[in-house]
Amino acid sequence: MKNRYTFGDNDAAADRLVLLARAYEPSSAAFLESVRPARPSNARAVDLGSGPGYTTALLHGTLGARETWGLDASERLVAAARAAFDAPLTFTVHDVTESPYPVAEVDVFYARYLFTHLASPASVLEAAAAAAAPGAVFVIEDNCALESPDPLFTDYYARVRTMHAHYGQNMFIGERLPELAGETSWTLERFARTRIELDARVMARLHAINVGTWRRDPFAASAFDAAEIDAMASALEAVAAGDRSAPHVTCVMGQMVLRL
């Protein structure tokens, strides 16, 4: 099955990824700091599924690598990244499930919220291994769970999970990360489930942008009642604006480090 990014590939999707990057930056920075190479000034790092480049900039700033690349299948998002960031960051259009990569002898690979959008996530691990330097590490973050006592959020997460399943994807692929690694030449160094408390207003803004793409998704347009989706979008916008209260959203993030 061909991979489909269910949250869209347009300006709204790019804006969403900027918000996502800001929301998760503190937790990701702490995780990346824990795997910083002994001699980062000699290292080459690659951000897989780099989007508009904010995770790439975070990777570079945290590790202090000699050079950092961002690879993404979206020409629109790669163009946005190139416009926003200069050398030593390099952005290239590439399907990260396919080998060979346009960069080799990579010391650190990073992927956050990539595997959840792939029908064949193990293909990324195999392609990365072919581009890796000896002793390379692969740092991965993906959801094990998203939790909220608010029925608005739980309804949204249930619908997203249904969409992912339709496209052969797993919204909570984080739980399967160690299992996926066991099918490849990578060795599991560590895996942890980290709880992250996220502002409901920020998450509501992210989710409202996602809901806005559902009109153009063939599956969502046929599977979800249009009036219910409109009501969900309005309620999420109200939370984002502070007109409707909602408790924090808890993300249980699967964080894994692999070594070749």
- Count of beta carbons in the 10 Å neighbourhood of residue 225: 9
- 56 within a domain of the structure (yes/no): yes
Residue 4 has pLDDT above 60, yes or no: no
Q: What is the tens place of the pLDDT at every residue in 157-172?
A: 999 999 999 999 999 9
Average pLDDT over the chain, rounded to an integer: 93
- 128 within a domain of the structure (yes/no): yes
- 183 within a domain of the structure (yes/no): yes
Confidence of residue 25 (pLDDT cuts 50, 70, 90): very high
- 228 within a domain of the structure (yes/no): no
Instruction: Identify the CATH number of the domain in which residue 140 sits.
Output: 3.40.50.150
Q: Provide the residue count of the chain.
A: 260
Residue 156 has pLDDT above 50, yes or no: yes
Q: What is the tens place of the pLDDT at every residue in 40-98?
A: 778 999 999 999 999 999 999 999 999 999 999 999 999 999 999 998 999 999 999 99
Q: Which of 12-21, 113-122, 191-200, 214-223 has the highest mean pLDDT?
A: 191-200
Model pTM score:
0.93
| The pLDDT of residue 1 | 45
Mind giving me the DSSP string for 191-223? EEEEEEEE-HHHHHHHHHHHHHHGGG-HHHHHH
Instruction: Give 130's Cβ-side CA count (13 Å radius).
Output: 12
- 36 within a domain of the structure (yes/no): yes
- 125 within a domain of the structure (yes/no): yes
- 119 within a domain of the structure (yes/no): yes
Residue 26 CB burial class (10 angstroms; 0-12, 13-18, ≥19): exposed
Task: Quote the CA–CA distance of 259 and 109 in Å, as a whole number.
Answer: 10
Residue 7 has pLDDT above 70, yes or no: no
For residue 98, what are the domain limits? 11-145+169-197+245-259
Cβ atoms of 6 and 117 closer than 8 Å: yes
User: What total of structural domains would you count in the chain?
Assistant: 1
- 204 within a domain of the structure (yes/no): no
| The pLDDT of residue 3 | 55
| The pLDDT of residue 37 | 77
